Amino acid sequence: MTLTVVGSIGIDTVETPFGKVEDVPGGSALYFSLAASHFTKVQVAANLGTDFPESAWNPVRSRGGDLNGLRVFEDQGTFRWSGSYMGDMNEAQTLLTELNVLAEPPVVPAAYQGCSFAFLANMGTDVQLRMLEELKADTVFADTMNLWIDTQRENLDELLSKIDGFILNDAEARMLTGETNLIRAGSALLKMGPKIVILKKGEHGAFLFTDNFHFALPSYPTARVVDPTGAGDSFAGGFLGSLAEMGELKPDNLRRAMAYGTVAASMTVEEFSTKALAECNREALDNRFSELCDFVRI
């Protein structure tokens, strides 16, 4: 089934204890698409400037991705972000943010409307609501961040009442619900509207909540964590790409999709930027999926 992502494209400068890279491809829509395109046809709607490297899209294009929703601005640069990870690398310190083309909402091509699955990646909640109305997708997931919880809470509450699934990290879940216990936070989020809630816990794995069952999964045990940038978007891409491939939101499918999201994220963190995710293949993802499933008996 077709999967549409609406999100950001970025040019990143990242420093971790393992080194520093400058002006490398990034952004939620790119990481998501690189992961999801291993499983299904991906349609991408996002803004970028002429300074963004075209070659970054080659893996998505080679897997049949539809990039007609990329809106290229001749007179503005691509969104830029600079950050530093130190210590346990669970959270980045933002050093620079330049919105550039991100100040304009993406444009959804008419051909994307009515898609089977859609992901509203991190962007202003007002923009997410607009994209939700334009897409008219059968099944919609979204994520958010602390900025929108702080500044667009009313919009976020409306969004939650209209989407099928919500993906966020543990700190955001606590902030949004006021609950310190993640099990209570997950239950509180379900009461806000979405049928499925996923709480990401970084190196400690993820929780999945529905009204009928809960599921917890550890992270894939990788010994090489070089750059966490994009891991959450890669998780979302693996998760929703796998769901779109299977087509139904059954409990067994949700569990499998959680595992594929987990291994996609594990690929991402092993190299700077999108390098590892761009170079891996479906066989590598399937191998890690099998290893993780053997470990947790999915």
Q: Where are the domains of the chain?
A: 3-296
Element (H, E) at 70: strand 66-73
pLDDT for 298 equals: 63
Report the chain (298 residues): mean pLDDT per 10 consecutive residues. Answer: 96 96 97 98 98 97 97 96 89 92 94 97 94 97 93 96 97 96 97 97 92 94 92 97 96 97 97 96 96 80
Q: Which CATH number fits domain 3-296: 3.40.1190.20, 1.10.1040.10, 3.30.420.280, 3.10.130.10?
A: 3.40.1190.20
Length of the chain: 298
What's the distance, Cα to Cα, between the start and end of the chain in Å?
24
Structure tokens at 228: 């966490």
pTM as predicted: 0.96
Q: Are 255 and 239 in contact (CB under 8 A)?
A: no
* Residue in the structure block whose two tokens are 């092993």: 270
Compute the Cα dihedral for 255, 158, 125, 179 and give only its sign. negative
Cα–Cα distance measured from residue 252 to residue 261, given in angstroms and rounded to the nearest whole number: 14
pLDDT for 89 equals: 85
Cα–Cα distance measured from residue 298 to residue 290, given in angstroms and rounded to the nearest whole number: 9
Q: Are 231 and 265 in contact (CB under 8 A)?
A: yes
Q: Are 47 and 104 in contact (CB under 8 A)?
A: yes
3-state secondary structure at position 213 = coil
Rg (CA), the chain: 17
pLDDT for 263 equals: 97
The β-bridge relationship of strands 19-26 and 42-49 is: unpaired
Q: Are 29 and 7 in contact (CB under 8 A)?
A: yes
CB atoms within 10 A of CB 215: 16
pLDDT for 223 equals: 86
The contacts of residue 55 (CB under 8 Å, 6+ apart) are: none
SS (H, E, C) 215-273: EEECCCCCCCCCCCCCHHHHHHHHHHHHHHHHCCCCHHHHHHHHHHHHHHHHHHCCCCC
231-246 helix and 251-268 helix, angle to the nearest 10 degrees: 140
3-state secondary structure at position 56 = helix
pLDDT for 196 equals: 98
